[in-house]
A and B are shown apart, each in its own frame.
Chain A
Amino acid sequence: MNLISTLLIPLIVLIILSYGLKKKINIYDVFLDGAKDGIVMTFKLAPAVVAMVFAINIFIRSEFIYFILGFLKDFLNILSVPLEVVPMALVRPISGTAALAILNEILTVYGPDSYTGLLASTMQGCTDTTIYVLALYFGSINITKTRYALGVGLCADLAGIIASILIVRFLFL
């Protein structure tokens, strides 16, 4: 599996270039043209990214999430969900790096093959940073009315988290 994924990118690059050459395209000039678009696009993104990172970092550093956790504690104990993974689940839709930092801590403290470690690893792998992606993608084309996108995205995240808890319990316990 690892070999396939390391071979894949070089292979894709090779296919794109040789197919372009076969179709008699000035691949070098076209590449430069596209690369220029890439630079323009990155700088068009910059304001939305800075705005979102600003808000996300303040929110995460305030540790408000641990405050919410206090309320959820009893409820989660009944469901026998390890409390350590909850901050990760709450942070996951907002920031991938923050969630990864918590995962790192969980794996160090509890070990990667413990129930808690397996559950946290599964959660990290099952969804993406919904709020960040929405801000980035909608921001890139100046869309402000996002309608029901966030609601559906968060529902999907919640489904992924619940599914992780059930599956890990079923597969590993």
Chain B
Amino acid sequence: MINVIWFLLVSIGIIYSVCTGRVDTINNEIVISAKSGINLVLELLPMLVLWMGLMKIAEKSRLLEKFSSLIYPILSKLFPSLKSKKAIGYIASNVAANMIGLGSAATPFGLKAMEEMQKENSDKTKASEAMITFLVLNTSGVTLIPTTVIALRLAKGSVNPSSIILSSLIATFISSFVGLLIDYIIRRSKR
């Protein structure tokens, strides 16, 4: 799957710019893109180092476990196949961080959650059901306060920058609900 997407993005991009006579732009982009990629990695680095350190403390002190048992009753319904409490804890932390708009802190939790889910996965190259449910939940963006957008609206002189909170919230909710519903239907139909 990733093979196909990757190939399509690159080949459509190159062929279309050759056809429209903008080979130069794409030529430049190929050179620059690796640098942009590494820059993104470097942007991730500080948050990953800091939060992995803090979360290790939370893990060792069993604070993470406490937090996950709090939220376990809800999440275990979404992830019926998942046995690891640690994974649930990381999923809960990821969702919580996303909700309050801490996207950069959410990433380390999400990656840890994937790592924990991989331990239970029977085929290590194939996505498990729990992983897919988690990613659907994650990518449909459960954000309570879209801080970046509000900041940008403020900068552009909006009279009420946070007026979009309600509309975003409803849209986010619908998006997550539809995603989880389709995911649920697929899981059911496979049985």
Q: B-contacting residues of A (Cβ < 8 Å)?
A: 1, 5, 8-9, 13, 15-17, 19-20, 22-23, 25, 27, 30-35, 37-39, 41-43, 45-46, 49-64, 67, 93-94, 100, 103-104, 107-108, 111-113, 117-118, 121-131, 133-150, 152-153, 155-157, 159-160, 163-164, 167-168, 171-172
Contacts and interface: CB of A to CB of B under 8 A. Distances in A.
A167 B172 CA distance: 11
Given A53-B37, A134-B139, A137-B131, 12 more contacts: A1-B145, A20-B58, A33-B53, A34-B54, A37-B56, A54-B33, A127-B175, A133-B135, A149-B136, A156-B182, A159-B177, A160-B172
A133 to B, nearest CB: 5
30 contacts: A1-B162, A16-B63, A30-B53, A31-B53, A33-B53, A39-B49, A42-B44, A45-B111, A54-B10, A58-B9, A58-B29, A62-B13, A62-B17, A94-B9, A107-B158, A112-B158, A122-B167, A126-B143, A133-B138, A136-B107, A136-B111, A143-B118, A144-B125, A146-B1, A147-B127, A155-B178, A160-B172, A163-B174, A163-B175, A171-B167
Interface of B: 1-3, 5-6, 9-10, 12-14, 16-17, 20, 22, 25-26, 29-30, 32-34, 36-38, 40-41, 44-45, 48-63, 100-102, 105, 107-108, 110-111, 114-115, 118, 123-127, 131-132, 135-136, 138-141, 143, 145-149, 152-153, 156-164, 166-168, 170-172, 174-179, 182-183, 186
A168 B174 CA distance: 14
Nearest to A124: B149
A42 B48 CA distance: 7
Choose among A54, A112, A135 the residue with the greatest number of B CB atoms under 10 Å from its CB.
A112
Contacts of B143: 125-126
A150 B1 contact: yes
A145 B38 contact: no
Given A61-B17, A146-B1, A155-B179, A55 B57 contact: no
Contacts of B179: 152-153, 155-156, 159
Contacts of B118: 141, 143
A57 B33 contact: yes
Contacts of B100: 5, 8
A-side interface mostly: helix
Contact of A159 (B41, B161, B175): B175
Contacts of A122: 164, 167-168, 171
Given A30-B57, A58-B9, A127 B140 contact: yes
Chain B: interface secondary structure?
Answer: helix
Contacts of A112: 152-153, 156-158, 161
Contacts of B182: 152, 155-156
A81 B107 CA distance: 33
